[in-house]
């Protein structure tokens, strides 16, 4: 059986991203392995600590910077995370100072919201309805 073990999100600053993705969003740091000027830095969901890892990947490739800036300028999230209750999570994050480009709204079988991760990306939160 093939499985997804890691997926990545490009970040402008790995230390800043680690702080945001752990202290604010609530992920747990799993791996931090020095690799030249950067690190292999992953976080996991507290609910699935043996599950898929999210790699906070340094945005070091110039053409990639252009692509991700274009996504951000268009308001397009570069990834999506599931939450149990999106209204509660939205309020918790707003209280922590997180900025949202899309406040919670229904979209068919899901309810979504989009936040700024302060590391160069919009990230979508999703609750299946």
Partner 1 sequence: MSETSPSFYEAELERTYHELPFRQEQFVQLRQSKVFMEKHYRSKLVIDDLADKAAMSRFHFIRVFKSMYGISPMTYLRDLRVTKAKHLLQKGFSVTDVCLNVGYESLPSFSSAFKKCAGYTPREYRSNQHSNLE
Q: Using the rule CB under 8 A, is 101 a contact of partner 1?
A: yes
Q: Using the rule CB under 8 A, is 109 a contact of partner 1?
A: yes
Q: Quick one: which of 78, 79, 102, 116 contacts partner 1 (CB under 8 A)?
A: 102
Q: Please give the backbone phi and psi of residue 11, each rounded to the nearest 5 degrees, phi first.
A: -130, 145
Q: Using the rule CB under 8 A, is 75 a contact of partner 1?
A: yes
Pick 65 or 72: Cβ nearer partner 1: 72
> d(Cα 116, Cα 22) in Å, to the nearest integer?
15
Side-chain-side CA neighbours of residue 54 (13 Å): 25
Pick 79 or 101: Cβ nearer partner 1: 101
Q: Please give the backbone phi and psi of residue 47, each rounded to the nearest 5 degrees, phi first.
A: -80, -20
Q: Where are the alpha helices (DSSP H) in the chain?
A: 14-19, 62-73, 86-95
CA 21 to chain centre: 7
Q: Using the rule CB under 8 A, is 81 a contact of partner 1?
A: no
Q: Using the rule CB under 8 A, is 107 a contact of partner 1?
A: yes
> d(Cα 11, Cα 72) in Å, to the nearest integer?
12
Q: Using the rule CB under 8 A, is 40 a contact of partner 1?
A: no
Q: Using the rule CB under 8 A, is 103 a contact of partner 1?
A: yes
Q: Using the rule CB under 8 A, is 114 a contact of partner 1?
A: yes
Structure tokens at 111: 């309810």
Q: How many residues bind partner 1 (CB under 8 A)?
A: 21
Give contact residues for partner 1 (rule: CB under 8 A): 1, 3, 49-50, 74-77, 100-103, 105-109, 112, 114, 122, 129
């Amino acid at each position: 059986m093939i499985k997804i073990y890691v997926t990545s999100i490009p970040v402008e600053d790995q230390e800043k991203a680690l702080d945001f993705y752990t202290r604010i969003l609530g992920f747990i740091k799993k791996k931090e392995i020095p690799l030249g000027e950067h690190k292999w830095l992953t976080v996991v969901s507290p609910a699935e600590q043996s599950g898929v890892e999210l790699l906070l990947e340094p945005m070091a490739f110039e053409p990639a910077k252009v692509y991700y800036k274009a996504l951000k300028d268009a308001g397009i999230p570069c990834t999506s995370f599931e939450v149990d209750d999106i209204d509660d999570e939205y309020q918790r994050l707003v209280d922590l100072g997180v900025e949202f480009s899309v406040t919670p709204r229904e979209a068919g079988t899901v309810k979504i919201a989009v936040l700024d991760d302060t590391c160069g990306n919009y990230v979508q939160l999703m609750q299946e309805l």
